[in-house]
Amino acid sequence: MTRFALTLEFDGTPFMGLQRQSHGPSVQQAVEEAALAVTGEEVRLHSAGRTDTGVHALAMRSHLDIEKSIEPFRLMEALNAHLRPDPIAVTHCEVVPDDWHARFSCIGRSYVYRIVNRRAPLTLDLNRAWQVAQPLDENAMHRAAQALVGSHDFTTFRSVHCQAESPVKTLDRLDVERIGEEIRIHAAARSFLHHQVRSMVGCLKLVGQGAWREEQVAEALAARDRQELGLNAPPNGLYFVEAIYPGAS
């Protein structure tokens, strides 16, 4: 039995999320079915994070165990051939130790959220960014975001369906930048609560348009109450960017 680590890039638009779902297609199901076609084995895909319906990934780290003797490059090529036309690509494949786990060995995760701040309809970025027509003040958004950095009880920014044992998380980074008409929110932590990034982005958007004072983000955090959440950003602007593991340079 050989454990292969995969790096997956995918457009989450047609999927019900990364994990297998009983009510629709998932990234996990597509990759597992491709692996079955390649190896004749029923395998299970384990991943560094979970993504909701419509959320994308630039470099999701995953792994699967295969008995068949096959080189990593050939496995990657074969999986990609069988994944077509689904918008999923294996961009890297390597053999890893048996005790390496895509989820449990991961010590850091990062996301980026894309807002296109313009009135004209989206064409190339349709389903790949959140369009906000009202002008946004990215500097106010960045200042407000710093109240969330550090270790806090993020109950306000946690989905009612979140299964994490504790609402306490340590946010290492929450930066807001503008590149032309696009605003990007970068978030990094060891792990995140369900909907945490989208909930934080939604509140920062309210700050950016002047509907919230900058201080209200800190006040919402301190309330530890989901009722104090201003807005949950839609999933289509969210991208899983990177999973970090011990020893990575």
Among residues 11, 52, 86, 225, which one is catalytic? 52
Cβ–Cβ under 8 Å, residues 176 and 215: no
How many Å from the N-terminal Cα to the C-terminal Cα in the chain? 28
SS (H, E, C) 155-205: HHHCCCCCCCCCCEEEEEEEEEEEECCEEEEEEEECCCCCCHHHHHHHHHH
d(CA 238, CA 184): 10
Within 8 A by CB and 6+ apart from 65, the residues are: 1, 2, 3, 4, 43, 44
Q: Is 86 a catalytic residue?
A: no
- Chain CA centroid to CA 23, Å: 21
Active-site residue set: 52
